[in-house]
Structure 1
Amino acid sequence: MLRGKLHRQATLWFIALCVSYLALAYFAAPEFWSLRFLRDGPRPETLLTTTEQGIPGDPINVGLVGTEQDVTAAFVAAGWDRADKLSVRSAVEIGESVLLDRPYVDAPVSTLLFNGRRQDLAFEKPVGDSPDTRHHVRLWLTFTPGRDGRPTWYGAASFDRGVGVSHDTGAITHHIAPDIDAERDSLIGDLTSAGRIVEVKTIPGIGLTKAGRNGEGDPYFTDGKVLMAVLVPDK
């Protein structure tokens, strides 16, 4: 009798702890950071993404000129996969990949906003057999055409080095490697090696940043430049 009562109490405490964690990590903490950044005022950087709570996210560090077909063909040729959209099915596949420690090559990426809009496209390239590590980039279609009249895309490229909890909210998330310039250069290198780039130029981005933090509290550093690549038209 006593053992059964203790077991029920332990179960209730466990459920209460789980509910408290979910409420703190996914509701209270994001709201706190959102209010903090609203209080501090808008950031001056224009080439910086934000989370859906308005927290500064990953900086824009790549640009592409080409149609959606050109972009997709370029990444496929370079060995990258188009990321799935977030859904119940993708959530189940993510859970299976983590539990079974197997790659999910087109796993969805979390939502970031640029100029108030969610990413239009996302691509990724897994590293090894673990679902924890991957190269990935989010892309936003802009309303500024390139010199040849094709659309311009801005992107935020970073490398997921592992899965853990957010430094700011405690929610489960991927953590990025701090050297985002290396990921930018690697992505452009992949597209170049695949023969999908006509030319590359450097344009100003957010500027030199030695101690940046993204929306999950991960530190990063960057020279603040954007590599803008003109893609080969897909025939």
Structure 2
Amino acid sequence: MGEPGADTSEPPPPRRFSINAALDGFFFVYAGLAAVWLAWLVLSETFAFGWFGIAFFVVFWLVLAYLVLPRLHRILTTIYVPDYFIGRARTSDGLLGDPVNLALDGDEASVHAAMRAAAWTRADDVTLASSWRIVTSTITRRSYDEAPVSPLFLFGRQQDFAYQQEVLGNPARRHHVRFWRTPDGWLLPGGRRVDWLAAGTFDRAVGFSLFTLQVTHKIDADIDVERDHIVSTVLAANPDARVVILRDFSTGYHSRNGGGDSVRTDGDLPVLDVSDVREERVAAIEESDISDAAPERVRVVPGVKTS
């Protein structure tokens, strides 16, 4: 018999071997190796076709950027990236994405009402049609206020929705923020309950991802500026909204997101309470603005001249 106060808890049972999990892992790795081999074959054939090799090189880039590197990242990040909350979203390839820099209280209708009142536009879902439209809009520099944002994952699922503000009609430059509903009973580190988490960044240009070579938006490094922009626009447009700042929610740090862009933050986490914002009040304000024919509001963006 053990001594009083001794730990009598039994060790957890050993994890059972699963044939399905083993097969899934095998074919996952096999597909990654096959993708690498395919990329090598395409690259080696490129040099045998003279000028036609340019087309083969484009094919090689497509295979490498959209098949090989994402597959390899998924294999490796399964090993070394934790699957619990660490204050970062993840890309579909498993890489660490944008930092979570905002939290909200309120139901979904209140969040939509608050964002719409603050002149934010809900982003379209990613489809073949919306993807093609943002490509053509970026090339031709034609406005696309509802342009989709790439999926990022938190709690094992992609964002519930996203909002954005296009800058001067250029889809390559935009404020944008993704929202995830928190699981039932989930608490922030420190024990605070919130209804939503969000990640806001500013797209400054279009370029290539450092990690996958895919075409993507490049973000501004100072994500605190974007965080504060989101909070200030919501508070200015919604008198019923309130904010509490969780100081030093995380240690201030600098890192890179899933596209290889530098990010830095002071670690503070604003918690916006929009639970008292109502759709009817927002609709009344919008109707009043239209009847008064108020001039269009100019969105101030650091480093961008508006006149």
TM-score by length of 2: 0.68
Q: Deviations over 1:11-58 (max 9, x none)?
A: 631221111001111121222333333333527752211011211111
1:163 pairs with 2:188: no
Q: 1:121 to 1:109 in 2, by over 3 A?
A: same
Match of 2:260 among 206, 217, 221: 217
SS, match of residue 133 in structure 1: strand
Q: Is the 8 A contact 1:127 1:135 kept in 2?
A: yes
Q: Extract unaligned runs of 5+ from structure 2.
A: 1-48, 187-192, 281-307
Match of 1:229 in 2: 272
Displacement of 1:137 after TM fit?
0.3
Q: Which protein, 1 or 2, shows the higher relative CO under an 8 Å CA cutoff with sep ≥ 6?
A: 1
SS, match of residue 57 in structure 1: strand
Q: 1:41 to 1:125 in 2, by over 3 A?
A: closer
For residue 159 of structure 1, what is the amino acid of its counterpart? F
Match of 1:71 among 111, 116, 124: 111
Point out 4+ residue stretches in structure 1 off by more than 4 angstroms.
none
Displacement of 1:94 after TM fit?
0.9
Match of 2:215 in 1: 172
Q: Deviations over 1:99-127 (max 9, x none)?
A: 21112111000010001111001000011
Match of 2:236 in 1: 193
TM-score by length of 1: 0.87
Equivalent residue pairs, number: 224
| Equivalent-residue separation in structure 1 for 2:185 and 2:165 (angstroms) | 28
Match of 1:143 among 172, 180, 183: 183
Match of 1:42 among 82, 85, 100: 82
Question: What does 1:23-34 correspond to in 2, within 5 Å?
Answer: 23-34=63-74
CA RMSD in angstroms, aligned pairs only: 2.3
For residue 183 of structure 1, what is the amino acid of its counterpart? E
Q: 1:187 to 1:203 in 2, by over 3 A?
A: same
The range that moved more, 199-208 or 150-159, is 199-208
For residue 121 of structure 2, what is the amino acid of its counterpart? D
1:126 pairs with 2:166: yes
User: Which protein has the bigger strand share?
Assistant: 1
Q: Is the 8 A contact 2:255 2:264 kept in 1?
A: yes
For residue 157 of structure 1, what is the amino acid of its counterpart? G
| Equivalent-residue separation in structure 2 for 1:39 and 1:20 (angstroms) | 27
| Equivalent-residue separation in structure 1 for 2:229 and 2:253 (angstroms) | 20
Displacement of 1:211 after TM fit?
2.3
Q: 1:10 to 1:18 in 2, by over 3 A?
A: same
1:95 pairs with 2:135: yes
For residue 233 of structure 1, what is the amino acid of its counterpart? V
Q: Is the 8 A contact 1:145 1:151 kept in 2?
A: no
Displacement of 1:225 after TM fit?
2.1
The range that moved more, 64-73 or 36-45, is 36-45
| Equivalent-residue separation in structure 2 for 1:212 and 1:44 (angstroms) | 19
Using the aligned pairs only, state the percent identity.
35
Q: Is the 8 A contact 1:198 1:230 kept in 2?
A: yes
Q: 1:71 to 1:145 in 2, by over 3 A?
A: farther
Q: 1:68 to 1:44 in 2, by over 3 A?
A: closer
The range that moved more, 87-96 or 186-195, is 87-96
For residue 212 of structure 2, what is the amino acid of its counterpart? T
SS, match of residue 103 in structure 2: strand
Match of 1:107 in 2: 147
Displacement of 1:206 after TM fit?
6.4
| Equivalent-residue separation in structure 1 for 2:88 and 2:100 (angstroms) | 6
| Equivalent-residue separation in structure 2 for 1:213 and 1:133 (angstroms) | 19
Q: Deviations over 1:120-143 (max 9, x none)?
A: 010000111211100000000113
Q: 1:38 to 1:202 in 2, by over 3 A?
A: same
